[in-house]
Amino acid sequence: MHIAMLVHDRFTALDVVGPYEILSRLPDVRLDFVAERPGPVRTDTGFLALTADKSLDQVRSPDVVVVCGGPGTFEQLENAAVLDWLCAVDATSTWTTSVCSGSLLLGAAGLLRGRRATCHWAALDLLKEYGAEPTEERVVTDGRYVTAAGVSSGIDMGLTLVGRIAGDDHAQAVQLLTEYDPQPPYDAGSPHKAPAHLVEEFRTGSRFTLA
Amino acid sequence: MHIAMLVHDRFTALDVVGPYEILSRLPDVRLDFVAERPGPVRTDTGFLALTADKSLDQVRSPDVVVVCGGPGTFEQLENAAVLDWLCAVDATSTWTTSVCSGSLLLGAAGLLRGRRATCHWAALDLLKEYGAEPTEERVVTDGRYVTAAGVSSGIDMGLTLVGRIAGDDHAQAVQLLTEYDPQPPYDAGSPHKAPAHLVEEFRTGSRFTLA
C-alpha cells in the first residue's frame, strides 16, 4: 500500500498530518510527502516546515492520494504541473482523497464533476465551480473519491479509509493507539454550532481569512 | 506570546502538530519548533520530517512550552541537555505542557513531583516513577502544568490553553477555523471503550508498540 500526500506552499499542517498519523499505521504501508519542489515546505503560519521527500515525477502510481488545503491552495488552482499530476495518479489510484480546501484542487483537476464532495465550510460553495455537488457532511465518499471538511476532519477521514482498506478491527486499533476520544472544551466546530458572530467574522474576514 | 514546541527523533507527529495548529492561531503569537540539533527531525514512522528551526540554546524564555511524545521519547529520558533545557525554560514559562508520553520527559526533568498529570493511556502508570499522580482525564491542569493524554488529545489541550490565554471567544473562533467538530467513525479511542482484545494486543505489543 503506497500513499502519496501532496503538499504545497502555505498548506495547513493538520490537514495532512491528521490523515498521515492514521494512514501511516496501515499494515505494509509506504508513505511519501510529495511536492512540486521537494525539500522543506512552509505551512500557512510560516512557523513550521515539513519535508517533501519526493517530487511529483518521483511518485507515479500511489494507491492512495491525499491532497491537503490551506491558504496557498488557491494559488495552485491553475498550476498545470500539479493538476496534471493529480489526473495522472488518479488514473490508477484506489482512493483519491482531500482534506479542507484540497477538494478545490481535485475539482480544478476535473475529478469531481457530478460527484458529491465537501470542503472547509467557508469554501464549500466554491465546489460548484468545478461541477461538484457541495455536501454538508464531515467525510463524503462518492465512489473512490473521499473528501473531508475543514482541517481536523482528515483524522475522521483517515479512520474511515483505514476501515475500508484494512477492516474495522485495524481501524479501531489505530483509534486506540492515537487515543482519539475527542473531548473539545467548546462546541463551536461547525457554523451550525458556533456563535453567530464568529461565523459572521469569518464571512467578513475580520479575524481569520481562508486565502 | 512566544511558544516553543520541543521535538526529538522518532516523535509522534500529531502530538505536536495538533497543538501547533491551535496555538499558532493565538493573537500576536510567535512559535518555534526546537530540537537538540536543529534541522529535519524524523517522526516515529520514518515517513515524515519536520524542521526544527531552532536549537535549545536559541530558545531561552518561551511563554509556553509544549513537549511531545512518541517512541523516541524513551531515549530522551536521560538526555541531560534536554532535561536541563526543560528546567531552564520552566523557570520562566507561563505554561509548561506536554502531549502523550511527553509528560514522562517533564517528569524526568523533575517538574511533575506531587502533581496530577496524564500521559498516553498505555504509559500512564510510568508517571509514578517521577512522583506524579497519574490521572485518567484527557487534559489535566495542575497549576501552570497542563498534560494531555495520547496523540490526538493535544488538540483538546490546545483549545483549553487558547481559552485560558485569549478567552473563550477566541478559542471558539479557532475551533470553527479548524472545523473541529469530531465525528470518529468508531468509538474505540480509549481503553475503556475499545474492544478488550485490542487493549490486550497493546499490552502484549502484538500489533503496535509504544517504545
A21–B14 CB contact, under 8 Å: yes
Cβ-nearest to B173 among A40, A159, A201: A201
* pLDDT (mean) for B7-25: 98
A175–B191 CB contact, under 8 Å: no
Report the phi/psi class of residue B115: left, alpha or beta, with left for phi > 0 and alpha for psi in -120 to 50.
beta
Report chain A residues whose CB lies below 8 A from the CB of B208: 25, 173, 177
* pLDDT (mean) for A100-122: 98
* ipTM topping 0.95: yes
pLDDT at B209 over 80: no
Q: Which residues contact A85 (CB under 8 A, 6 or more apart)?
A: A6, A56
Q: Indicate the burial class of B92 (C-beta count within 10 angstroms; 0-12, 13-18, 19 or more).
A: exposed
pLDDT at B4: 98
pLDDT digits (tens, 9 = 90+) for B66-104: 999 999 999 999 999 999 999 999 999 999 999 999 999
Other CB atoms within 10 A of residue A100 CB = 33
8-state DSSP, A21: H
Q: How far is B75 from chain A (nearest CA, A)?
A: 20
DSSP H helices, B91-204, are 102-108, 153-166, 168-177, 196-204
* pLDDT (mean) for A131-135: 98
pLDDT at B205: 85
pLDDT at A25: 97
Question: Whose CA is closest to A12, among A197, A208, A185?
Answer: A208
pLDDT at B119: 98
pLDDT at B206 over 90: no
Residues B44, A53 contacting (CB under 8 angstroms): no
**What separation, in Å, do the N-terminal and C-terminal C-alpha atoms of chain B show?**
33
A 165-194 → B contacts, CB under 8 A: 168-169, 171-173, 175-186, 188-191, 193-194
Instruction: Tell me which residue has cell 524564555.
Output: B61
Long-range CB contacts (within 8 A, 24+) of A192-200:
A193/B181, A194/B172, A194/B173, A194/B175, A194/B176, A195/B169, A195/B172, A198/B169, A198/B172, A198/B173, A198/B176, A199/B176
B172–A179 CB contact, under 8 Å: no
Other CB atoms within 10 A of residue B101 CB = 32
Question: Whose CA is closest to B20, among A151, A148, A157?
Answer: A151
Collapse the DSSP code of A37 into the 3-class scheme (helix H, G, I; strand E, B; otherwise coil) and give the result: coil
Active site (catalytic) residues of B: 100
Strand-pairing partners, residue A148, are A99, A139
Report chain A residues whose CB lies below 8 A from the CB of B169: 195, 198
Strand-pairing partners, residue A113, are none
* pLDDT (mean) for A38-53: 98
Q: Is A38 on the interface with B (CB under 8 A)?
A: no
Element (H, E) at A67: strand A64-67
CA dihedral B102, B103, B104, B107 (to 10 degrees): 140
pLDDT at B98: 98
Q: Is B114 on the interface with A (CB under 8 A)?
A: no
Residues B27, B88 contacting (CB under 8 angstroms): no
Report chain B residues whose CB lies below 8 A from the CB of A50: 48-51
Collapse the DSSP code of A30 into the 3-class scheme (helix H, G, I; strand E, B; otherwise coil) and give the result: strand
DSSP string across B110-130: T--TT-EE---GGGGGGGGGG
pLDDT at B207: 82
d(CA A12, CA A153): 12
d(CA B96, CA B89): 9
Q: How far is A118 from chain B (nearest CA, A)?
A: 12
pLDDT digits (tens, 9 = 90+) for A51-85: 999 999 999 999 999 999 999 999 999 999 999 99
Q: How far is A6 from chain B (nearest CA, A)?
A: 12
d(CA B116, CA B93): 19
Question: Whose CA is closest to A103, among A144, A63, A132?
Answer: A132
Report chain A residues whose CB lies below 8 A from the CB of B48: 17, 20, 24, 31, 33, 50-51
Please give the interface size between A and B, counted as residue pairs whose CB atoms are below 8 Å apart. 229
pLDDT at A210: 67
pLDDT digits (tens, 9 = 90+) for A173-184: 999 999 999 999
d(CA B45, CA B208): 12
**DSSP E strand boundaries for chain B:** 2-6, 30-35, 39-42, 49-52, 54-55, 64-67, 95-99, 116-117, 133-134, 139-142, 145-148
Element (H, E) at A146: strand A145-148
Q: Indicate the burial class of B204 (C-beta count within 10 angstroms; 0-12, 13-18, 19 or more).
A: exposed
pLDDT at B114: 98
Quote the mean pLDDT of chain A.
Answer: 97
pLDDT at B211 over 70: no
pLDDT digits (tens, 9 = 90+) for A140-167: 999 999 999 999 999 999 999 999 999 9
